[in-house]
């Protein structure tokens, strides 16, 4: 693969529209030119950001997320995953497909594992949501998290929060009783890095420690 470097071409630097020198001026000019300059106001920090647009179908929900009660006005179209990630700054749950096909967005609702991308945020009204951020007790990792480290059950780590949430549920469901069963019940969570051998070993290990093996 060495023969064809697909890399940055030589840059002919004669036709720059913005140079370092006029970058500051340009920065001001484009904001002024924006036909939606009013929206350029800085919003408050990401944690529990206000819904930045009025929508016909707004809803107010009350839910518990990682043990904290929350009342929030949402766009009725919002998925639980987008609520967590974009409004509540809980970015542990990942978007890998948005179609319920990869498991990267797995969280628990009332103790059951769900694909948060397929769950409308409105559905968690009155329910308890647990995400990867709420799994450890302070600085002490959940046995499943520790087992994932011990068995190197990850590479890029992108599927990992979903794998761990699914794995904890898998044990709680009583589906971690054999390697075959673990493999079957963990097959809704894709790991493209291919950490499956480590994931199975980690779940076996943690299940024993969780007393549900």
Partner 1 sequence: MTTTPFKDRPRIDAFDKVRGATAYAADIPVPGMLYAMLVPSVVAKGRIATLQVEDAINVPGVVRILTPDDFPPPPEPVRFPNADAPPTLHRDIAFRGQPIALVVAETLEAATEGAERVAATFETQPFAATKRSALAVREEARPTAFGDAGAALAQATMTVDVEYESPAQHHNPIELISTTAVWADGRLTIYEGTQFASGIKEVVARILRIDPGIVDVKSPSVGGAFGQKGWVQQQTAIIARAAMLLGRPVKLVTPRGQIFHLAKFRPNSTHHIKLGADAAGKMTGVHYVADQQQSRRGTFPPDYHAGPTRLYGIRNYYGGGLDYRIDTQPPGHMRAPHEHPACFAFECAVDELAYSLGADPVDFRIANDTRVDPQNGRPLSSRHLNECLSRGAQRFGWSKRTPKPGSMRAADGSLVGWGVASGIYPALVTATVATLRISADGTTRFTTTHHEFGQGIKTAIGAVLLDGLEIDAAKLDIVLGDTTAAPQQITAGSWGTFSVVPTAALAVERMRAAISELLAGRQVSGAIHQQLAAIRRPFLTVEVSLLGPGQDAAALERLRRGQYAVAGPTFPDFTAMSYIAHFVEVQVESTTRRIRMPRVVSVADCGRVVSPRTAVSQVRGGVVWAFGAALREVTEVDPRFGGFLNNDLADYVVPVNADIGEIDVDFIGEPDPVANSVGVKGLGEVAMVGASAAIVNAIFHATGKRLRELPVRIEHLL
Cβ neighbours of 59 (radius 10 Å): 17
3-state secondary structure of 114: strand
CA distance 210 to 108: 17
Min separation Cβ 81 and ligand FES, Å: 6
145 binds, among ligand FES, partner 1, none (CB under 5 to 8 A by kind): partner 1
**Is residue 100 within the footprint of ligand FES (CB under 6 A)?**
yes
Nearer to partner 1, 40 or 112 (CB): 40
CB of 141 to ligand FES, least distance (A): 17
Tell me: does residue 157 bind ligand FES (CB under 6 A): yes
Check binding of 168 to ligand FES (CB under 6 A). Answer: no
Does residue number 210 form part of the binding site for ligand FES (CB under 6 A)?
Answer: no
Pairing state between β 58-65 and 128-130? parallel
Torsion of CA 149, 150, 156, 157, to 10 degrees: -30
Q: Total binding residues for ligand FES by CB under 6 A?
A: 23
Q: Does 102 bind ligand FES (CB under 6 A)?
A: yes
Task: Tell me the torsion sign for CA atoms 62, 63, 65, 68.
Answer: positive
- Near ligand FES by CB under 6 A, which window of 10-18, 60-68, 141-149, 157-165? 157-165
Q: If binding is defined by CB under 6 A, does position 98 make contact with ligand FES?
A: yes
Give how far Cα 193 sits from Cα of 15, 64, 190, 211, Å: 42, 33, 9, 29
């Amino acid at each position: 693969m060495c023969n064809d470097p697909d890399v940055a071409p030589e840059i002919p630097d004669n036709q720059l529209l913005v140079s370092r020198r006029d970058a500051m001026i340009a920065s001001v000019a484009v904001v002024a030119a924006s036909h939606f300059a009013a929206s350029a106001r800085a919003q408050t920090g990401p944690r529990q950001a206000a819904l930045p647009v009025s929508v016909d179908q707004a809803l107010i929900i009350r839910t518990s997320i990682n043990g904290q009660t929350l009342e929030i006005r949402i766009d009725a179209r919002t998925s639980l995953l987008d609520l967590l990630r974009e409004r509540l700054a809980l970015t542990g749950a990942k978007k890998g497909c948005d179609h319920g096909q990869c498991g990267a967005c797995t969280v628990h609702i009332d103790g059951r594992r769900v694909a948060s991308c397929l769950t409308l945020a409105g559905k968690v009204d009155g329910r308890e949501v647990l995400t990867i951020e709420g799994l450890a007790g302070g600085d002490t990792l959940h046995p499943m998290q520790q087992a994932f480290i011990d068995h190197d059950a990850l590479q890029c780590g992108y599927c990992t929060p979903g794998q761990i949430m699914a794995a904890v549920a898998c044990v709680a469901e009583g589906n971690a009783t054999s390697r075959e069963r673990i493999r079957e019940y963990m097959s809704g969570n894709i790991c493209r890095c291919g950490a499956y051998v480590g994931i199975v070993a980690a779940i076996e290990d943690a299940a024993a420690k969780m007393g549900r093996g």
